Amino acid sequence: MPTSMTGRLFRGREIVDRLARQSPARLAVTVFAAVIAVFTALLMAPWATASGRAAPFVDALFTATSAVCVTGLVVVPTGTYWSTYGQVVILLGIKIGGLGVMTLASILGMAVSRRIGLTQKLLTASETKTTRLGEVGSLVRVVIITSTSLELLIALLLLPRFVVLEETFGEAAWHGIFYGISAFNNAGFIPTEHGLAPYVGDWMLCLPIILGVFIGSLGFPVILNVMRNRRRAAKWNLHTKLTLSTSAVLVVVGTVLFAALEWTNERTLGPLALGEKVLASLFAGVMPRSGGFSTVDTGGMHEASWLITDALMFVGGGSASTAGGIKVTTLAVMLIAIVSEARGDRDMETFGRRIPRDTLRLAVAVSFVGATAVLVSSLLLLEITGETLDVILFETISAFATVGLTTGITPGLPDAGKYVLVALMFVGRTGTMTFAAALALRDRRRIVRYPEERPIIG
């Protein structure tokens, strides 16, 4: 190898190592932004569109960001606007984005420096909730193998149904793989022209997608913990128990409320048979976890249903998962704190464990940052579009929580509005996670502490 090339590689490795030591969160965000830039360039190629004309920059950027951030919001129809090449690019973006910001940064660190620095291991361990730093390198491989296996399982479950729907085997296999990856990664992209609306009552098609979205929203720490202790639920750690229990409650609440509010709505559940209503309600109850698929017209839902969906989307799925939002454990910790305060308990306790108070501070900080991002983006979009608050709020929360559900206004947004959602999707996918990790790694030891005094609250 020429000396000059060796020197450049050495300098590049030094830069990455220095970033990993000094600011691992910045490294992760930089890598993620670079991946989006690459996929934007790939989607701007003339052969990426079905028409053979290069896509406008804003549409390519929006689609690339939505794919890599596993959101599912689109400004052009995926199944008809993009060519097979374009759809493959989108699918690769979903796959890479689903692996997670920190995992992606760790892969870069291993590829460039052939090792993961201590700081980078700490940050990755913070996201994946691992406790032994030596496991991080192997965990990256386990994450890739586990996610790919589950995606293929979903694809195999969908394949026979697509074949029955009179598709060729090649088309059925492609749609099965696309939906499998899109479902597990909570991306919400659909490769078919009419989406899932024609299959609103099809249990064989919808149920695997529901399961894929739900499992993907739990997070790799939960999946791995359950797999390692599948016959010993008592050995599940607190994070797994909180994630599973809170997710199950939110799915039940979302399903019941959606059914109650939309049962007679002629634009959603009204015309459907009983079994179709039950399936559509379950589908709608799971998708705000960050799935983004829809079998009914989201724009035709009652405003009360939008409000419930807003709340579910803002919470999102599990930590270190393919889902977005502030995460279910964040909600669980704050609810436990409220119950403990109401009872007069000094400690926050659940499942026989005591939760440290700094975890509550972190949960409050993450929630406040998320709410602020939604508030600022909503104000900007209100000024840019002139739409009503209910529609704008739904769209901004969907973008921030990387869900992908839409009332239908996104394709018609002016370019300025699209850029706002692009920034919001990026912040929603990387911001709260890196912010939480950065705070978790900051532990300032102070010699002098001020006297304690309580302000009046409430």
Tell me the angle at which helices 203-218 and 274-286 cross, rounded to the nearest 10 degrees.
20
pTM of the model: 0.87
**Is the pLDDT score of 440 beyond 60?**
no
Confidence of residue 346 (pLDDT cuts 50, 70, 90): confident
Distance CA 458, CA 453 (A): 16
How many residues comprise the chain? 458
Element at 255 (helix H, strand E)? helix 238-262
**Is the pLDDT score of 129 beyond 80?**
no
Distance CA 65, CA 53 (A): 20
* pLDDT value at residue 231: 82
Confidence of residue 455 (pLDDT cuts 50, 70, 90): confident
* pLDDT value at residue 324: 85
* pLDDT value at residue 359: 85
* pLDDT value at residue 206: 95
pLDDT in tens, 367-419: 998 999 999 999 999 999 989 999 999 999 999 999 999 998 999 999 999 99
What b-and-e string marks burial along 21-48, b requiring 16 or more CB atoms within 10 Å of the CB? eebbbebbbebbeebbeebbebbbeeeb
**Is the pLDDT score of 103 beyond 70?**
no
Q: What is the Cα Rg of the chain in Å?
A: 22
63-67, 132-136, 148-152, 321-325: which range is least confident on average?
A: 132-136
* pLDDT value at residue 18: 60
Q: What is the mean pLDDT of residues 308-317?
A: 94
pLDDT in tens, 13-29: 566 556 555 555 666 67
* pLDDT value at residue 122: 45
Q: What is the mean pLDDT of residues 200-205?
A: 93
**Is the pLDDT score of 1 beyond 50?**
no
Distance CA 146, CA 138 (A): 12
* pLDDT value at residue 132: 47
DSSP letter string over 263-318? Answer: TT-TTTTTTS-HHHHHHHHHHHHHGGGTT---SS-GGGS-HHHHHHHHHHHHH-S-
pLDDT in tens, 208-221: 999 999 999 998 88
Averaged pLDDT of the chain: 84
* pLDDT value at residue 255: 96
* pLDDT value at residue 358: 81
Confidence of residue 320 (pLDDT cuts 50, 70, 90): confident
* pLDDT value at residue 220: 80
* pLDDT value at residue 31: 79
Work out whether the CA dihedral 175, 176, 179, 185 comes out positive or negative: negative
